[in-house]
């Protein structure tokens, strides 16, 4: 669980101690600063560090259990900071969130990672290349780590922005899967806001303690720059959420329009079908009348009215014709024909 263990004296790295006990002794003898890096430790793993640096039990429990929001809390001379680093995974187009806990005291920094990010090796290398900055002590390490976490938000913002651009194209292409993608991306943006909004509050809290804890002017300027960067990222996250909410509204409107268009087409088809049914029914009724008369007289019964009448046949034809013409005129007047 111990991934790095170093002692720094006047901004320069001393020979690496063999174990934690050697680290504690070196800090006391050389009046240096210890920087201990832990990865997903258990309570037993952190017990030695807790006892040596007198870490508060509640803060240690938070650091071991994780699942904390970004925050800054002070326990006596110890500052407990929680950060939520993030990275954008291009292959699956998702944002992966981690968790980083930092204990900073007068002569120590203890970092506890619960994810692969951020890469604290880069932070160490950058600080070791700048002994004057590292000589400023644990606060310089804390600000450098916050700066690295905020810098790693940059690719996340670019990835989310690219996804939103693709969603805008999908919206007007009629892609049925776009609703699900908007929902999933909205959840990622909300998680991103949960990581960045409290971070801005935490940095503001650190700034409020500049005068009380006599923070170096150079560090104050660095943290102000980090805060400005964080503020831009927070504004981007708010913008993304607003765009996605509008996209959902537009998607609902487009779906409603398509449904209305389909209903209109179905209605027009139904009306046309009804017109055809009317015509068919009208002609069927017109043809039914002469067919009925002809059928009756075609039964060839010997005893039928007018069967032996001289004008019986002309009368039957006239009846057929008059009935058909009458029905035609009735249907025509009602616009069935």
Q: Which helix (H) or strand (E) holds 311?
A: none
Q: Say whether both 279 and 249 belong to one domain.
A: no
Last residue of one domain, picked from the residues 198, 232, 257: 257
| pLDDT given for residue 332 in this prediction | 77
Distance between CA atoms of residues 74 and 84, nearest Å? 18
The beta-strand segments (E) located in the chain are 2-9, 12-13, 33-39, 71-75, 78-83, 86-89, 94-97, 100-104, 108-113
Q: Supply the CATH number for residue 186's domain.
A: 3.30.460.20
Q: Say whether both 245 and 310 belong to one domain.
A: no
Q: Could you read off the pLDDT of 232-251 as tens digits, one per residue?
A: 999 999 999 999 888 888 87
| pLDDT given for residue 202 in this prediction | 92
Give the mean pLDDT of 307-315.
68
Lowest mean pLDDT among 8-12, 100-104, 145-149, 246-250: 246-250
Distance between CA atoms of residues 30 and 6, nearest Å? 13
Q: Say whether both 186 and 284 belong to one domain.
A: no
Confidence of residue 334 (pLDDT cuts 50, 70, 90): confident
Q: Say whether both 36 and 179 belong to one domain.
A: yes
Last residue of one domain, picked from the residues 257, 284, 309: 257
Q: Could you read off the pLDDT of 14-56 as tens digits, one per residue?
A: 988 888 889 989 988 888 999 999 998 887 778 889 999 999 9
Confidence of residue 194 (pLDDT cuts 50, 70, 90): very high
Cβ-based neighbour number of residue 183 at 10 Å = 11
| pLDDT given for residue 40 in this prediction | 87
Predicted structure pTM score: 0.76
Q: Is residue 266 part of a domain?
A: no
Distance between CA atoms of residues 14 and 8, nearest Å? 6
Q: Say whether both 295 and 211 belong to one domain.
A: no
Q: Is the torsion defined by CA of 111, 112, 116, 118 positive or negative?
A: negative
Q: Is residue 264 part of a domain?
A: no
Residue 188, domain extent: 2-257
Q: Say whether both 141 and 220 belong to one domain.
A: yes
Average per-residue pLDDT for the chain: 86
* 304 has pLDDT over 80: no
Q: Are the beta carbons of 262 and 304 closer than 8 angstroms?
A: no
Q: Is residue 134 part of a domain?
A: yes
Q: Say whether both 106 and 217 belong to one domain.
A: yes
| Number of domains within the chain | 2
Share of the chain above pLDDT 90, in %: 41
* 160 or 172, which is more confident: 160
**Contacts of 247 by beta carbon, 8 Å cutoff, 6+ apart:** 164, 167, 168, 171, 182
| DSSP code of residue 112 | E
* 271 has pLDDT over 90: no
Q: Say whether both 249 and 290 belong to one domain.
A: no
- Whose CA is closest to 34, among 91, 120, 108, 95? 108
| pLDDT given for residue 302 in this prediction | 62
Q: Say whether both 39 and 138 belong to one domain.
A: yes
Q: Say whether both 138 and 283 belong to one domain.
A: no
């Amino acid at each position: 669980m111990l991934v790095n263990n170093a002692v720094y004296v006047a901004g320069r790295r001393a020979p690496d101690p063999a174990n934690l006990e050697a680290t504690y002794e070196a800090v006391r003898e050389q009046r240096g600063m210890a920087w201990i890096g832990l990865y997903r430790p258990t309570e037993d793993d952190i017990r030695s560090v807790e006892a040596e640096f007198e870490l508060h039990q509640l803060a240690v429990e938070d650091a071991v259990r994780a699942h904390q929001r970004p925050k800054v809390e002070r326990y006596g001379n110890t500052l407990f900071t929680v950060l939520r680093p993030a990275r954008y995974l291009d292959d699956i187009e998702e944002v992966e969130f981690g968790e980083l806990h930092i204990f900073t005291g007068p002569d120590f920094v203890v970092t506890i990672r619960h994810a692969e990010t951020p890469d604290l090796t880069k932070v160490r290398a950058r600080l070791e290349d700048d002994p004057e900055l590292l000589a400023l002590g644990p606060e310089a390490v804390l600000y450098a780590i916050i700066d690295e976490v905020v810098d790693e938000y940059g690719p996340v913002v670019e990835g989310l922005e690219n996804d939103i651009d693709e969603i805008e194209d999908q919206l007007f292409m009629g892609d049925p899967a776009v609703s699900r993608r908007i929902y999933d991306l909205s959840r990622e943006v909300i998680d991103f806001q949960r990581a960045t909004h409290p971070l801005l509050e935490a940095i503001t809290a650190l700034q409020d303690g500049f005068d009380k804890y006599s923070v170096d002017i150079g560090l104050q300027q660095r943290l102000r720059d980090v805060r400005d960067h964080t503020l831009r990222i927070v504004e981007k996250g708010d913008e993304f959420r607003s765009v996605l909410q509008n996209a959902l509204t537009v998607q609902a409107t487009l779906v409603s329009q398509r449904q209305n268009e389909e209903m209109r087409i179905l209605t027009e088809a139904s009306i046309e079908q009804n017109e055809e049914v009317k015509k068919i029914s009208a002609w069927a009724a017109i043809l039914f009348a002469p067919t009925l008369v002809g059928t009756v007289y075609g039964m060839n019964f010997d005893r039928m009215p007018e069967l032996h009448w001289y004008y019986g046949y002309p009368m039957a034809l006239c009846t057929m014709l008059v009935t058909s013409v009458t029905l035609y005129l009735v249907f025509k007047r009602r616009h069935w024909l």
